[in-house]
């Protein structure tokens, strides 16, 4: 029989599970608090639960508790990047960024990714598997537990495409924002997607007040297709219409991410086309200087080109920010640390063959 993934249950489900085994309902509440508020790494710490119950849970349930495989701290800005081990041996990465307005964690939603964006390290080895809600939660729980600092913001912008793991991601958001758990404000959560139209429309109807970020990266379908294979499935017009629906239904302003790649999507005609494309949208553009990966020969736009691109957008009435590069010295971008870790492992095992 498959074991119950106990940390992925909401309080209602946990109460049903616990009472079905003859325990009182208040035990479920205690257990939920240990898992989601006190962030216990295991049953040992749960001092107010009877030993017999803990023994039974150990037999019938999986208790997700990520193992820290590596932690890198940026000498430039104090950003911390974590490599966590899952119970099946897979490795994922998460990032803690410290801002004046609070601590933000960037989580992975899948092991690997199958979207194939050309500049992204997460997708180089394809998709391994989806993460369960508990495995997404525990990235935040471990970091808060290890640092002792409260996490106030979460961005679903690490490895993986959240819309490709839709049900688990939505359940994760509900657990993360549950008043009986960490109770993080929905407004402080951002979900970034490469633009899967049915996912965006479904999310618009969930009644969640989270921010939607769209990875745009080009002002037209042709350039976008050269960077993002998903552009062959969904046309930009349809993606933007879905984003507008998201805004209308949730009232949440959108973020448009645009990674600047030298000579590919960074000239001023493209800036003008981008401004025209989103002028009727409620949102802002976040320019990201592309973080080159060694497997591809994309080059970051130079500072002057980035400033010129930004100025032209602003002249056309678009709100725009340039994303600060956090943790560049520790493989800051999506999937890069995991990739370099897996490469080293491979080299190590080749040596021993
Ligand atoms: N799959 C989701 C979320 C993951 S990536 C998405 O596509 O939105 C988060 C953002 O970082 C995306 O906008 C992605 O396109 C961008 N990104 C990934 N690798 C990058 C790199 N090497 N340089 C710059 N931006 C990158």
Q: Are residues 31 and 72 in the same domain?
A: no
* CATH code of residue 95: 3.20.20.70
Q: Annotated catalytic residue: which of 23, 93, 128, 270?
A: 93
- For the Cβ of 286 lying below 6 angstroms from any atom of ligand 1, the answer is no
Question: Taking the model in full, what pTM does it have?
Answer: 0.95
Cα separation, 67 vs 139, whole angstroms: 10
189 beta partners: 154
Co-location of 22 and 126 in the same domain: no
246 near 240, Cβ under 8 Å? Answer: no
The answer to whether residue 353 is domain-embedded is no
Alpha carbon 182 to chain centroid, angstroms: 17
Residue 248 domain boundaries: 194-322
Give domain status of residue 295, yes or no: yes
Mutate to test the pocket of ligand 1, among 213, 227, 259, 266 (most ligand atoms within 8 A of CB): 259
Question: Is the residue at 43 inside a domain?
Answer: yes
Structural domain count of the chain:
3
- Domain membership of residue 101 (yes or no) is yes
- Rounded to the nearest angstrom, the distance between the alpha carbon of 334 and the centre of ligand 1 is 6
218/133 same-domain check: no
Say whether pLDDT at 349 is over 60.
no
27 and 144 inside one domain: no
Residue 182 inside a domain? The answer is no
Q: Measuring from atom 14 of ligand 1, which residue has the nearest CA? A: 215
pLDDT tens track for 52-111:
999 999 999 999 999 999 999 988 888 999 999 999 999 999 999 998 889 999 999 999
Q: What is the pLDDT, as a whole number, of residue 332?
A: 57
Which of 131, 155, 157 is the best mutation target for the ligand 1 pocket, counting ligand atoms within 8 Å of the beta carbon and taking the most?
157
* Residue 330: inside a domain: no
Residue 39 sits in a domain of what CATH number? 1.10.150.530
Q: What is the pLDDT of residue 350?
A: 40
pLDDT category of residue 295 using cuts at 50, 70 and 90: confident
Distances in whole angstroms, Cα of residue 254 to Cα of each of 2, 187, 244, 251: 40, 12, 9, 9
Protein residue with its CA nearest to atom 3 in ligand 1: 157
Q: Is 161 in the pocket of ligand 1 (CB under 6 A)?
A: yes
Q: How many angstroms is it from 335 CA to the middle of ligand 1?
A: 9
């Amino acid at each position: 029989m498959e074991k119950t993934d106990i940390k992925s249950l909401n309080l209602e489900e946990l109460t049903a599970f616990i009472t079905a085994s003859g325990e009182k309902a208040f035990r479920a509440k205690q257990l939920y608090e240990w898992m989601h508020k006190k962030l216990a790494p295991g049953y040992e710490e749960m001092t107010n639960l009877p030993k017999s119950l803990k023994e039974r849970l150990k037999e019938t349930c999986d208790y997700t508790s990520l193992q820290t495989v590596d932690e890198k701290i940026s000498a430039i800005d104090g950003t911390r990047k974590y490599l966590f081990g899952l119970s099946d041996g897979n490795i994922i990465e998460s990032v803690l960024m410290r801002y004046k307005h609070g601590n933000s964690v960037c989580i992975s939603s899948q092991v690997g990714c199958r979207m194939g964006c050309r500049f992204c390290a997460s997708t180089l080895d394809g998709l391994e598997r989806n993460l369960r809600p508990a495995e997404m939660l525990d990235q935040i729980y471990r970091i808060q537990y290890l640092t002792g600092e409260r996490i106030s913001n979460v961005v679903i912008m690490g490895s993986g495409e959240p819309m490709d793991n839709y049900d688990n991601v939505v359940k994760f958001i509900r657990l993360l924002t549950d008043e009986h758990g960490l109770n993080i404000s929905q407004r402080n959560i951002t979900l970034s997607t490469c633009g899967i139209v049915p996912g965006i429309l479904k999310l618009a109807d969930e009644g969640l007040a989270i921010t939607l970020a769209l990875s745009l990266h080009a002002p037209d379908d042709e350039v976008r297709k050269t960077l993002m294979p998903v552009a062959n499935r969904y046309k930009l017009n349809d993606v933007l219409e879905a984003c507008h629906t998201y805004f209308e239904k949730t009232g949440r302003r959108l973020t448009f991410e645009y990674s600047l790649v030298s000579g590919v999507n960074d000239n001023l005609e493209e800036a003008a086309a981008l401004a025209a494309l989103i002028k009727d949208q409620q949102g802002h553009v976040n320019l990201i200087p592309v973080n080159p990966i060694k497997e591809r020969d994309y080059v970051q736009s130079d500072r002057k080109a980035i400033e010129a691109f930004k100025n032209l957008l602003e002249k056309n009435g678009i709100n725009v920010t340039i994303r600060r590069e956090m943790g560049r010295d520790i493989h800051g971008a999506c999937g890069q640390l995991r990739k370099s870790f897996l490469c080293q492992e491979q080299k190590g095992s080749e040596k021993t063959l």
